[in-house]
Chain A
Amino acid sequence: SQTIHQWPATLVQPVGSPLSLECTVEGTSNPNLYWYRQAAGRGLQLLFYSVGIGQISSEVPQNLSASRPQDRQFILSSKKLLLSDSGFYLCAWAVSGANVLTFGAGSRLTVL
Protein backbone atom coordinates (compact mmCIF):
# COMPACT_ATOMS: atom_id res chain seq x y z
CA SER A 1 0.00 0.00 0.00
CA GLN A 2 1.03 3.57 -0.52
CA THR A 3 2.10 5.84 2.30
CA ILE A 4 3.16 9.46 2.48
CA HIS A 5 5.50 10.84 5.10
CA GLN A 6 6.02 14.49 5.87
CA TRP A 7 8.39 16.08 8.38
CA PRO A 8 8.95 17.84 10.62
CA ALA A 9 5.44 17.89 12.07
CA THR A 10 5.96 21.23 13.80
CA LEU A 11 8.57 23.91 13.38
CA VAL A 12 9.19 27.28 15.00
CA GLN A 13 11.65 29.44 13.11
CA PRO A 14 12.82 33.05 13.40
CA VAL A 15 12.26 35.52 10.59
CA GLY A 16 15.10 35.39 8.09
CA SER A 17 16.06 31.79 8.82
CA PRO A 18 16.03 29.05 6.16
CA LEU A 19 13.38 26.35 5.81
CA SER A 20 13.35 22.79 4.58
CA LEU A 21 10.26 20.58 4.69
CA GLU A 22 10.51 17.10 3.29
CA CYS A 23 7.93 14.73 1.88
CA THR A 24 8.38 11.17 0.67
CA VAL A 25 5.95 8.70 -0.83
CA GLU A 26 6.27 4.92 -0.65
CA GLY A 27 4.59 2.17 -2.60
CA THR A 28 4.12 3.94 -5.91
CA SER A 29 6.16 5.12 -8.87
CA ASN A 30 6.12 8.40 -10.78
CA PRO A 31 3.48 10.07 -8.63
CA ASN A 32 2.34 13.64 -9.08
CA LEU A 33 3.48 15.54 -6.00
CA TYR A 34 2.02 18.71 -4.49
CA TRP A 35 2.73 21.29 -1.80
CA TYR A 36 -0.25 23.17 -0.36
CA ARG A 37 -0.35 25.83 2.34
CA GLN A 38 -3.21 26.58 4.68
CA ALA A 39 -3.15 29.82 6.62
CA ALA A 40 -5.14 29.96 9.85
CA GLY A 41 -8.87 29.80 9.11
CA ARG A 42 -8.33 29.71 5.38
CA GLY A 43 -8.65 27.21 2.57
CA LEU A 44 -5.78 25.37 0.97
CA GLN A 45 -3.58 27.18 -1.50
CA LEU A 46 -1.61 25.19 -4.05
CA LEU A 47 2.04 26.28 -3.99
CA PHE A 48 3.89 23.82 -6.21
CA TYR A 49 3.29 20.62 -8.10
CA SER A 50 5.54 18.20 -9.92
CA VAL A 51 4.83 15.54 -12.51
CA GLY A 52 8.37 14.14 -12.58
CA ILE A 53 11.93 14.34 -11.28
CA GLY A 54 13.33 17.83 -11.60
CA GLN A 55 10.04 19.23 -12.93
CA ILE A 56 8.40 21.89 -10.75
CA SER A 57 5.44 24.11 -11.52
CA SER A 58 4.77 27.10 -9.30
CA GLU A 59 1.24 28.36 -8.84
CA VAL A 60 1.94 31.40 -6.72
CA PRO A 61 5.07 33.61 -6.81
CA GLN A 62 6.47 33.80 -3.32
CA ASN A 63 9.35 33.38 -0.96
CA LEU A 64 9.39 29.60 -1.28
CA SER A 65 10.85 27.08 -3.70
CA ALA A 66 10.41 23.37 -4.29
CA SER A 67 12.61 20.60 -5.58
CA ARG A 68 12.14 16.98 -6.55
CA PRO A 69 15.55 15.33 -6.43
CA GLN A 70 14.13 11.80 -6.55
CA ASP A 71 10.99 10.23 -7.95
CA ARG A 72 9.23 10.01 -4.59
CA GLN A 73 10.81 12.92 -2.72
CA PHE A 74 9.50 16.47 -2.68
CA ILE A 75 11.17 19.27 -0.73
CA LEU A 76 9.86 22.73 0.14
CA SER A 77 12.48 25.33 0.94
CA SER A 78 13.06 28.94 1.71
CA LYS A 79 16.30 30.88 2.07
CA LYS A 80 14.82 33.55 4.34
CA LEU A 81 11.48 33.08 6.07
CA LEU A 82 8.93 35.86 6.41
CA LEU A 83 6.26 36.20 9.08
CA SER A 84 3.66 35.59 6.36
CA ASP A 85 5.16 32.15 5.69
CA SER A 86 3.55 30.84 8.88
CA GLY A 87 0.93 28.20 8.21
CA PHE A 88 0.09 24.56 7.84
CA TYR A 89 1.98 22.98 4.95
CA LEU A 90 0.61 19.88 3.34
CA CYS A 91 2.26 17.52 0.92
CA ALA A 92 0.08 15.35 -1.29
CA TRP A 93 0.46 12.80 -4.03
CA ALA A 94 -1.74 11.49 -6.82
CA VAL A 95 -1.48 8.85 -9.46
CA SER A 96 -0.18 10.48 -12.60
CA GLY A 97 -3.11 11.77 -14.64
CA ALA A 98 -5.61 11.47 -11.79
CA ASN A 99 -6.90 14.09 -9.36
CA VAL A 100 -7.58 12.07 -6.24
CA LEU A 101 -5.08 13.44 -3.75
CA THR A 102 -3.67 11.68 -0.72
CA PHE A 103 -2.35 14.13 1.83
CA GLY A 104 0.35 13.83 4.42
CA ALA A 105 -0.22 14.73 8.05
CA GLY A 106 1.07 18.26 7.53
CA SER A 107 3.84 20.45 8.92
CA ARG A 108 2.87 23.38 11.09
CA LEU A 109 5.31 26.27 10.67
CA THR A 110 5.38 29.27 12.97
CA VAL A 111 7.66 32.12 12.02
CA LEU A 112 8.43 34.51 14.88
Chain B
Amino acid sequence: DAKTTQPPSMDCAEGRAANLPCNHSTISGNEYVYWYRQIHSQGPQYIIHGLKNNETNEMASLIITEDRKSSTLILPHATLRDTAVYYCIGQTGANNLFFGTGTRLTVIP
Protein backbone atom coordinates (compact mmCIF):
# COMPACT_ATOMS: atom_id res chain seq x y z
CA ASP B 1 0.00 0.00 0.00
CA ALA B 2 1.36 3.33 -1.03
CA LYS B 3 2.07 5.81 1.74
CA THR B 4 3.22 9.29 0.87
CA THR B 5 5.62 11.83 2.35
CA GLN B 6 5.19 15.57 1.92
CA PRO B 7 6.86 18.62 3.47
CA PRO B 8 4.64 20.01 6.22
CA SER B 9 4.58 23.54 4.89
CA MET B 10 5.63 25.76 1.99
CA ASP B 11 5.33 29.40 1.02
CA CYS B 12 4.87 30.77 -2.47
CA ALA B 13 4.71 34.33 -3.77
CA GLU B 14 1.46 35.33 -5.43
CA GLY B 15 1.69 34.97 -9.21
CA ARG B 16 4.59 32.56 -9.09
CA ALA B 17 4.45 28.83 -9.70
CA ALA B 18 3.93 26.65 -6.64
CA ASN B 19 5.72 23.31 -6.86
CA LEU B 20 4.57 20.83 -4.24
CA PRO B 21 6.64 17.65 -3.95
CA CYS B 22 5.54 14.22 -2.83
CA ASN B 23 7.46 11.01 -2.25
CA HIS B 24 5.66 7.71 -2.76
CA SER B 25 8.52 5.24 -2.99
CA THR B 26 6.35 2.22 -2.14
CA ILE B 27 3.76 2.81 -4.79
CA SER B 28 2.93 -0.26 -6.84
CA GLY B 29 2.58 -0.43 -10.59
CA ASN B 30 -1.19 -0.12 -10.73
CA GLU B 31 -1.68 2.50 -8.02
CA TYR B 32 -2.57 6.02 -9.02
CA VAL B 33 -1.36 9.17 -7.32
CA TYR B 34 -4.12 11.61 -6.41
CA TRP B 35 -3.92 15.20 -5.29
CA TYR B 36 -6.57 16.99 -3.26
CA ARG B 37 -6.57 20.26 -1.42
CA GLN B 38 -8.46 21.43 1.64
CA ILE B 39 -9.18 25.05 2.27
CA HIS B 40 -9.66 25.82 5.95
CA SER B 41 -12.82 24.30 7.44
CA GLN B 42 -14.06 22.95 4.12
CA GLY B 43 -14.16 19.49 2.60
CA PRO B 44 -11.20 18.44 0.43
CA GLN B 45 -11.39 19.21 -3.27
CA TYR B 46 -10.07 16.90 -5.97
CA ILE B 47 -7.33 18.43 -8.11
CA ILE B 48 -5.75 15.84 -10.37
CA HIS B 49 -4.51 12.27 -10.55
CA GLY B 50 -2.12 10.23 -12.64
CA LEU B 51 -0.51 6.85 -13.10
CA LYS B 52 2.61 7.21 -15.25
CA ASN B 53 2.25 10.09 -17.64
CA ASN B 54 2.28 13.74 -16.73
CA GLU B 55 -1.19 15.22 -16.50
CA THR B 56 -2.59 18.71 -16.83
CA ASN B 57 -6.02 20.16 -16.24
CA GLU B 58 -7.50 23.59 -15.62
CA MET B 59 -6.31 23.59 -12.03
CA ALA B 60 -2.80 22.17 -12.08
CA SER B 61 -0.15 19.98 -13.65
CA LEU B 62 1.13 16.71 -12.24
CA ILE B 63 4.65 15.58 -13.00
CA ILE B 64 5.43 11.96 -12.11
CA THR B 65 9.01 10.72 -12.20
CA GLU B 66 9.84 7.86 -14.51
CA ASP B 67 10.40 5.47 -11.58
CA ARG B 68 7.08 6.67 -10.09
CA LYS B 69 8.64 7.13 -6.68
CA SER B 70 7.83 10.81 -6.52
CA SER B 71 5.67 13.44 -8.09
CA THR B 72 5.23 17.21 -8.13
CA LEU B 73 2.02 19.18 -8.26
CA ILE B 74 2.43 22.48 -10.05
CA LEU B 75 0.09 25.44 -9.65
CA PRO B 76 1.35 27.63 -12.50
CA HIS B 77 0.28 31.02 -11.16
CA ALA B 78 -0.56 30.82 -7.48
CA THR B 79 -3.23 33.13 -6.10
CA LEU B 80 -4.19 33.91 -2.52
CA ARG B 81 -7.16 31.56 -2.92
CA ASP B 82 -4.74 28.67 -3.46
CA THR B 83 -3.71 28.85 0.20
CA ALA B 84 -4.72 25.43 1.52
CA VAL B 85 -3.46 22.07 2.70
CA TYR B 86 -2.49 19.92 -0.28
CA TYR B 87 -2.70 16.15 0.03
CA CYS B 88 -0.76 13.73 -2.11
CA ILE B 89 -2.57 10.45 -1.80
CA GLY B 90 -1.75 6.89 -2.51
CA GLN B 91 -4.46 4.42 -3.23
CA THR B 92 -4.64 1.59 -0.71
CA GLY B 93 -7.13 -0.87 -2.02
CA ALA B 94 -10.19 -0.41 -4.16
CA ASN B 95 -11.98 1.84 -1.72
CA ASN B 96 -9.41 3.60 0.37
CA LEU B 97 -7.44 6.71 -0.39
CA PHE B 98 -4.91 7.23 2.38
CA PHE B 99 -4.81 10.91 3.36
CA GLY B 100 -1.68 11.92 5.28
CA THR B 101 -1.17 15.32 6.89
CA GLY B 102 -0.36 17.08 3.61
CA THR B 103 1.54 20.28 2.84
CA ARG B 104 0.20 23.57 4.09
CA LEU B 105 0.77 26.01 1.20
CA THR B 106 0.66 29.69 2.05
CA VAL B 107 0.51 32.08 -0.88
CA ILE B 108 2.06 35.39 0.10
CA PRO B 109 0.93 38.68 -1.46
Write the residues of chain A forming the contact surface with B, with a CB cutoff of 8 angstroms.
32, 34, 36, 41-46, 49, 51, 57, 59, 88, 90, 92, 99-106, 108
Contact = CB atoms under 8 A, between A and B. Distances in A.
Interface of B: 32, 34, 36, 41-46, 49, 87, 91, 95-102
Main secondary structure of the interface of A (DSSP, over half): strand
Contact of B44 (A41, A44, A49, A57): A44
23 contacts: A36-B99, A41-B101, A43-B99, A43-B100, A44-B44, A44-B87, A46-B97, A46-B98, A49-B96, A51-B95, A57-B95, A59-B96, A90-B43, A90-B44, A92-B43, A99-B34, A100-B46, A100-B49, A101-B44, A101-B97, A103-B43, A104-B43, A108-B41
A88 B95 CA distance: 21
A104 B38 CA distance: 12
User: Which of B34, B42, B98, B99 gathers most chain A CB within 10 Å?
Assistant: B99
Contact of B91 (A32, A34, A88, A99): A99
B43 A43 contact: no
B74 to A, nearest CB: 19
Contact of A32 (B44, B95, B99): B95
Closest 4 CB pairs of A and B: A103-B43, A44-B99, A43-B101, A43-B99
